[in-house]
Each structure stands twice: as C-alpha cells, then as structure tokens.
A and B are shown apart, each in its own frame.
Chain A
Amino acid sequence: MAIKIEHLTHTYNPNTPFEKTALEDINIEIKDGEFVSIIGHTGSGKSTLIQMFNGLLKPTMGQVYIKGQDIHGENVDRKAVRQQVGLVFQYPEYQLFEMTVWEDVAFGPKNLGLNEEEIRERVAYALQAVGLGEEYYQKSPFELSGGQKRRVAIAGVLAMKPSILILDEPTAGLDPKGRDDLFNKLKEMHKGLGLTIVLISHSMEDVARYAQRMIVLYKGKVKYQGTPKEVFAHGDELEKIGLARPQIAYILETLKEKGMDIATDILTVEEAALQIKAYLLKRRDNNA
C-alpha cells in the first residue's frame, strides 16, 4: 500500500474566528503502482489533502501511512518517508532558479550528498523521463516554453527518485500537445518505472483517459471513489458539485436522447467513434 489515510480531519486556524475545516473524516487507500486522480471544485480540499501525503501538514486528527509507516508516529525517520513522495506543486516552473536546466535538476540530488557519478546518472534519468534531450542541458530554464519549464521542474522532483509522484494540476496552462506529451510521459513513468501517481486535475478529459481510479472530493469529504466509468456515471450529481463529464459523454447523451441505441458510459472520442460506427453499420444493414 503506497498511501493509506484513516479518519483524517484537518482544521485550519483552530479555535480562532478563522477556523475552517478543510478535510473531514477522509479514508483513502492508494495501492502501489496505481494511477489515481483526485478531482473536486476549488476549495474542496484537494491541495490540503496532497500536502498530507508527504507530511507537509500534520492532520488535526487521523493517521497518514506511507508505505505502511505512520508518518507522524514516533521514531519515524520523516526525512526518509518524504523522499519516497515527490510533490509537484501548481506552476512548479516558478520554483526554477538555476542558470542551466542541468544544474536545476541536479540541485536536489546534490543536497542528498550523492557523488558526482550518481548525480549525473540521476539528472540524466530525470531529464530523459520528462523527454528533454541533451540539447536542453545547458540552456537557461527561463528560455524555455511553459511546457518545457514545467517538465524541468518535474524532472527536479524525479531526480530524487520518489516511488510516489504527486502532481497538482500539472497541465494547467499547457497547450494540447504539451498536455498530451506530459501525460504520455507520466504514463510511461507509471508503467516503466512502476511509479505510483496521484494527480489533481480539473480536466475531466485527461482524468477519463489516464486515471485507473478517481477520488472525488466535495466540501472536504470523499464524495465518490471508483473507476472513471463508475464516477462519471454520476453525471448530474457531478455538475451539482462544480464538476463535469468529458465532452464526449454529453455528445453521446444527446444521441441517446434522440433515440440512438448506444452506451453512454464511454469516455474517449476514439471509443465513441467505434461504437457509433458499429451502430451506423447495423442501421444500414437493417435498412437494406
């Protein structure tokens, strides 16, 4: 089990006029090697929750286990636990600061006290994982495009070799290709490196396409958990809590309303095209 959260409640500014309960009785399990997505409206508690995953916040109540270890327990090497969890914040490119891409990614490993050889190996590994070739090594990170900068920042986290990678809105502001590239890289890392990935996203299209499982937060509580198909089946309720379904789901629903006999729990355009094709061919045969 990569992450296990039990009866977690978190209150900001307790016993003050600004007291606010951000999370209430959260119970979550994320298995090793899973690709999980957390969705929820602004203020639903997503960002508070992911800060629990590496102990940046200490919950008011409840337990957080990383790889079976209670990270707030006594005699726990918190630093070692944190190294297992790589956290990529929103707009991570704002945290770039070195003169070159290479130096920026090397900053973390250097601080771990690794030798030159290991540092070089890790930086090369991380930059390769995010798809930045040698031609970028000596560039200033500030000369790069938004999508590239973000990949440098993610490489900086990967160079720490975490087994769990948590990303908060990694594709916000990226163009469709930048978004697809990044997701494909994440998918590769997930498969090839066996990383556990937890992703916060507002893009229902991306979540539907890439996540194995979803956790939906609403006002600090877990509203739904399940596969994308299961979660997106709650169409109207999702709308009520500030979310939506992938565009293709609305198209299929319209078609169904007009009398087309097709499944509406399809989440990608490619799948939908196959379904519709089958339907149209059948209709043609029946008419013939």
Chain B
Amino acid sequence: MEHIIEAKDIVFEYYNYDENGEQKEAITALNHTSVSIKQGEFLVILGHNGSGKSTFAKQLNGILTPKSGTLFVKGIDATDPQNIWEIRKEVGMVFQNPDNQIVATVVEEDVAFGPENIGIPPKEIRKRVDEALETVNMLDYKRVSPNQLSGGQKQRIAIAGVIAMKPECIVFDESTAMLDPIGRRQVMATMKKLNKEYGITIVHITHYMEEAILADRIVVMEKGEVLLEGTPKNVFKEVETLKRIGLDVPAATYLMYLLNKEGFQFKSDVLTAEEVAQELWQ
C-alpha cells in the first residue's frame, strides 16, 4: 500500500514570550517524530495531554508547519507554505467542539461552505452536499438549524462539511471528547464507514481506549516521540507501560491483566467481551 502521509524526523517547538515580546523559552512538542500512514489505513493516536499528538495532527493539513524534518502528504511537500491549499484538499480535519465548527444557520448551507469556497460549480455543490449528508445519515436534517441538533449530530454535520471537500484523509482531533455515549457511537460508526466503504484514510486522536480497538494500527506518543506502535492487540497488552505514561487500556484487556496478576495464565492481548469469554472457556 502507498503511503498517504510520510513524516520523517519532524521537530516542532512552541515558544513562550515575556512581556517585552522576547522569546523566553522553547518547548519541544515534537522531537524527531516519524510516522508514515498508509492510504486507506485507520490509525489511532494515543498519548496524554501535552504528548504532542494534537501538534502532530495539525502538521498534517498545514495548520502548523515543522521546524525541521520532512513531511509529504500524497507526495506533496507539506513543509512548504505555498502548498498549503493543495494539502488541505487532501487532508480534512474535524475538531473537538462541534459548536466551534459550524458557521451557517442551516445544515445544508454549513456543509456547502467548504466547496463554495474552493469554487466548485453550484450543481456539483448540490450533489456533494446531498451525498455527504447521506453518508453521515443526516440527510433528513438538511433544512434544520444546527442549534437544534445534539452534539453527535452536530459533529456529523462537521464531518459532512469535510467529506464535501472530498479529502483522501480525515483527521479527527478528539472529535468524540464532548459527546454523550450515543453521540460517540454515531461518530465512530461514521468513521468506520468512511474508512471501509469509501477508503478514506482516518487518523483518530482519542482518550477513549475502547475506540482505539477499531484501529488498524495505534501510535502511542510520549514527550513528542513515538513510544509504541502496532496493532491494538500488540499495543494494549503493554498494560504497565501504558499506565505508566498516564494512559489506560480497554476494560477487557485490564480484566485479563488483573486475572493474570492473580496467578492465571490467560492471553494478555484480549480486547473484547467475546475474546474474554473465549479465553475463560479454554
């Protein structure tokens, strides 16, 4: 599979300034981070607050650009500010707070906002908006005002707005953090559908370990570096490492971990209720 994103040795620093505008200190958010993402992959990035995962995600569509290192998105050099619009067509982004991402007073106008701005002809916009709303299961709400929607519904409108731009990759920066359980489930189902049916590459940043189970691959970040990387099974069996850096594991994995500490010898890479049942019946 071809790589849609190739990040090598990325360094990014935030600067603090004193009252006189003089640079006080530099905080290294990304410390020679290298992550490659395959076309069509479902990648989850985990890490505690301040580990650099959001900073990394923001490099992917040019909100931030690295200080050094190389970053290619679909072969385009993302470190060159001139390519920013090219990059943003390929990589869309959905943020945490649905209320901050909605600009229009009617759902379908909100979804049309992006395509309008890149000069898509009206007929094509109509088509894209309807398709995008259908994809996120919100077509029935196209003439509704966004403020009448639930959090999960608003977030799906935000996703539709991104899909209407036809990106090849969508980055979800903690897009489920503010939602109730049902809203979270709806957004996860939408992500899965975009990935499986439409082949869109998904990069999902989350603090919910249960959501990370769905990933093809997990990248765990710590202090701006990649600490662990692998399938959910391989990553989550590292219970102690994950707990040490302030993360968690799915309930099923933790249950097996606790039982093994009590002297049992079950497999440690268990992720779901079904797998727990299978292990206990051995």
Contact = CB atoms under 8 A, between A and B. Distances in A.
B181 interface: yes
A62 interface: no
A147 B180 contact: no
Contact of A254 (B177, B250, B254, B273): B273
A173 B96 contact: yes
Contacts of B277: 254-255, 258, 260
A243 B259 contact: no
B26 to A, nearest CB: 12
A111 to B, nearest CB: 24
A40 B177 CA distance: 16
Contacts of A145: 48-50
A244 interface: yes
A4 interface: no
A273 B207 contact: no
A244 B248 CA distance: 19
A250 B254 CA distance: 14
Contacts of A269: 251, 254-255, 258
A230 interface: no
Interface string A140-160: 100101110000000000000
Interface string A164-185: 0000010011111111000000
Contacts of A273: 255, 258-259, 262
A246 B252 CA distance: 12
A39 to B, nearest CB: 8
Interface in B174-223: 174, 177-184, 207, 209-210
B48 A177 contact: yes
A172 B181 contact: no
Instruction: Give the bracket for the number of chain B residues in contact with chain A.
Output: 35 or more
B259 A174 contact: no
Contact of B280 (A90, A178, A204, A260): A260
Contacts of B151: 42
A242 B182 contact: yes
B138 to A, nearest CB: 15
Contacts of A41: 150, 180, 182-183
A246 B251 contact: yes
A52 interface: no
A17 B168 CA distance: 42
B161 interface: no
Contacts of B180: 40-42, 202, 242-243
- Among B27, B50, B152, B181, the most chain A Cβ lie within 10 Å of the Cβ of B181
Contacts of A179: 207
Nearest to B207: A175
A258 B281 CA distance: 9
B16 A176 contact: no
B262 A277 contact: yes
B47 interface: yes
A276 B259 contact: yes
A174 B152 contact: no
Nearest to B147: A18
Given A143-B16, A169-B178, A247-B251, A175 B246 contact: yes
Interface in A247-281: 247-248, 250-251, 253-255, 258, 260, 269-270, 272-273, 276-277, 280
B139 interface: no
Contact of B181 (A140, A244, A251, A254): A244
Contact of B255 (A43, A176, A248): A248
A84 B147 CA distance: 33
A178 B48 contact: yes
Contacts of B64: none
Nearest to B260: A273
B255 A272 contact: yes
B251 A202 contact: no
B207 A176 contact: yes
A43 to B, nearest CB: 6
28 contacts: A42-B150, A90-B178, A172-B177, A173-B177, A175-B51, A177-B246, A178-B49, A178-B246, A202-B178, A202-B179, A202-B181, A204-B181, A243-B180, A243-B182, A247-B251, A248-B251, A251-B251, A251-B252, A254-B276, A254-B277, A269-B254, A272-B255, A273-B255, A273-B259, A276-B255, A276-B280, A280-B264, A280-B280
Given A146-B49, A255-B276, A273-B259, 7 more contacts: A43-B150, A143-B27, A175-B49, A175-B246, A204-B181, A243-B181, A273-B258
Interface of B: 16, 27, 47-51, 96-97, 150-152, 174, 177-184, 207, 209-210, 245-248, 250-252, 254-255, 258-259, 262, 264, 273-274, 276-277, 280-281
Interface of A: 40-43, 90-91, 140, 143, 145-147, 169, 172-179, 202, 204-205, 242-244, 246-248, 250-251, 253-255, 258, 260, 269-270, 272-273, 276-277, 280
